[in-house]
Amino acid sequence: MPTTLESGGTYASFAALFHQKSDSRYTKAGYVISETPNPTIYGSVYEGTVSGDTIKVTITDLAPGTDYHVRAFMNEYKGNVIYSQDFVFTTGEGTLEEQLANYRGPKYPDYYVELSGWSSRDQWNLANVHDPSVMMANDGYFYMYQTDASYGNAHVEGGHFHGRRSKDLINWEYLGGTMPALPEWVVPKLNEIREGMGLPTANPDVNTFGYWAPSVVKVKDDLYRMYYSIVVPGLIDGDNSWGERAFIGMMENTNPANNDGWEDKGYVITNSSDKGLDFHVSPTDWANCYYKFNAIDPSVIITESGEHWMIYGSWNCGIAAVKLDPATGKVAAELGNCWGTDAEIANYGKLIATRQMGNRWQASEGPEVIYRDGYYYLFLAYDGLDVPYNTRVARSRNIDGPYLDMNGTNITEVGGDAYPIVTHPYRFNNSPGWVGFSHCTVFNDGEGNWFYASQARFPANYNGNEFSNALMMGHVRSIVWTKEGWPLVMPERYGNVPQLAIAEEELIGNWELIDLSYAYAVMKESANMTLTADHKVSGGSWDGADWNFDATNGILTVGETELYLKRECDWENAD
C-alpha cells in the first residue's frame, strides 16, 4: 500500500514497496488517482520512478482539502496490471489562492422534477424546501425544518415538519418528518374554544389540516424547541362566517440528530379577535376580517438579557410579539379568551409591524427576528407566495419595537412599507430566474458569518411544465452588513467560495446588474454594465459614471452608490 512522504494543498509525494518475481519483467510503474475508490489506469495515471524495490511519485495540480484514492501499479511484460491496495489521503487546506484556483461549485440540479418523488428523497438536498427554519446545534450541524409542502405533494408519505441537516450549508442530508400525526391536543382545544364561543362541536377531517412554518431554537446544549403552526380547515360557522383558526404548538428534543426524538408539549397560542363573537363575516370580506392576529409563522428568539419572545402573524392586522416563559416555552401571561375587546385579548400579543394601520387584510407574513450589534432585526415577507414574494427589513433597539426601516418609517406605531428590499423576483442571463423568493430564516455560524435561507420558485410554465411554479428550491445566501448596520443578501447562492481578498483589476470587465426597487410580481431582469480600466462605467443605469474600489472594506462605489462585494458562486454559469 502507498504511504505519503509529503503533501500540501495541491501536491503529494508517495512511495510504495513492490516484490518482483524473478521470472517477470515490468514495462511501466506508477500511480493512479481518483476521488472515487479503486482507480485504474483508465483514469488519471502518473508514471513513477523505481529505485530498488520502491516506486515513488510526486503528483501536482490537486485540489486543496480533498479526499483522494491512490493505488500504485505495475504493468507486467505481456501480462496483467498489478495494483496495490486502495489508499486514501486528504490534501492540505492550501492557501486561499490555491483554494480559489481549484474551486468547483455545487452541481445539484435546480430543476429537480426527476428527483421530486418520495423514493428519491435522499437525493433532494435543497429540493422541496418551503418556509425553512435553521439553527446550529452543538454537534456542529445546521438543522433545517419546514412547512409541509413539496412538488407533487411527495412529502405526505413521511409525516410533518420535515427535517434535514448539513455541515457546510451546501450538502443537506434528508432526515424525514419530525411529527408522525396530528397532535392529540389540537381537536380538543379547538372544541374547547368553540364551546366557549357557543358553537357546536367540530369534527374536521384530520387529513386536511395544514402544517406550516416552524421555528426552531436552541435553548441550551441539551434542549431544543420547535414551534409549529397547525391550520384548521373549514369555516367557523358555515357559510357567511370567517375561516377557522390556527394554532401554534411546541415540541422539544434533547438532540436533533435523533429526528424521532421530538416530544410534543402542546398548545402555545391561537388566533385572537378584537371583534368579540362577531364572526359571521363573509370569508372574502377582507376589510372586515374577523381575526386581529393569525397564529402562524412563529419566530422565537432568546434576547441578550435571557428573555424568550415569540414573533408571529400572517396577513390580518400584522405581526405580533408575545413574551414566553423560559421554563415552559409557553406564553408567560394568562391568555384568557381568544375573543373580546382589544384590551381583553392584549395578552395574545402586541402589534409590532403593519403595512397600513387599521388594515385587517394586508400582505405581510413570515416574520423572522434576530439580534445583532444592539438591534433586533425584523425580516418580513410581503405579497403573495407564488410570484411577488419579496423580503423587507426593519429594526429596533427593543424586541417589541418600535421597528423603523432604513428611511425612518415606523412600521410599529404608524405603519408603512419597510425598506430595504433584500430579496425580490429576479433573473440573470442563462437562467429561468426565480420568483416567490421570501419567507426566510436568518442565522449565523457562531463565527460572525450570517446567512439567509428561504425557498424560491421557478416561473410558471418553465420548460413546458404547467406546474413549474410549484418547484420550490431552498436558497442559502450570505449576508453582508452595511456601514450603517443594514443587511444585504448576496445576489448569488452560497457556495463556500474561498474568500481571497478581491483585487481592483478583477473588477474590470462586464457585469450583470439587477435593480431591486419594488415592482409587484415583476421578475427583475439584469442589465449589462462594464467597468473600464479608466474607472468609467459603460452601459446600464450608471452609464458614464465614475467608479472606485475600497479593497480594504470590499466596497465598490459607482457614482454615489456603494456596492458591497463578496466572492460567490456563479450558479447560472456553473462557476
- Determine the pLDDT at residue 1: 80
CB 5 within 8 A of CB 14: yes
- CA angle 316/319/322 to nearest 5° reads 125
**Domains in the chain with CATH codes:** 3-101 (2.60.40.10), 113-489 (2.115.10.20), 504-573 (no CATH)
User: CA 490, CA 496: separation in Å to the nearest integer?
Assistant: 13
- Determine the pLDDT at residue 23: 65
What pTM value is reported for the model?
0.93
Nearest to 48 by CA among 21, 71, 68: 71
Nearest to 550 by CA among 564, 571, 540, 536: 564
Q: In what order do the strands lie in the sheet with 435-444?
A: 435-444, 450-457, 472-481, 487-489
Q: Largest alpha-carbon pair distance within the chain?
A: 101
The 8-class DSSP code of residue 404 comes to: B
What sign does the CA torsion over 454, 459, 460, 465 have? negative
Residue that is written with C-alpha cell 423576483 in the block: 425
User: CA 302, CA 324: separation in Å to the nearest integer?
Assistant: 10
- Determine the pLDDT at residue 115: 97
What sign does the CA torsion over 348, 350, 354, 356 have? positive
SS3 396: strand
CB 185 within 8 A of CB 232: no
Q: How far is CA 16 from CA 11, 20, 57, in A?
A: 17, 13, 9
**Which stretches of the chain drop beneath a pLDDT of 70?**
21-23, 575
Q: Count how many Cα atoms sit within 13 Å of the Cα of residue 277 in the half-sphere of its side chain.
A: 8
Decide the pairing of beta strands 547-550 and 319-324: unpaired
- Determine the pLDDT at residue 22: 64
DSSP conformation letters of 424-472: --EE-TTS--BEEEEEEEEEE-SSS-EEEEEEEEPPTTGGG-TTGGG-E
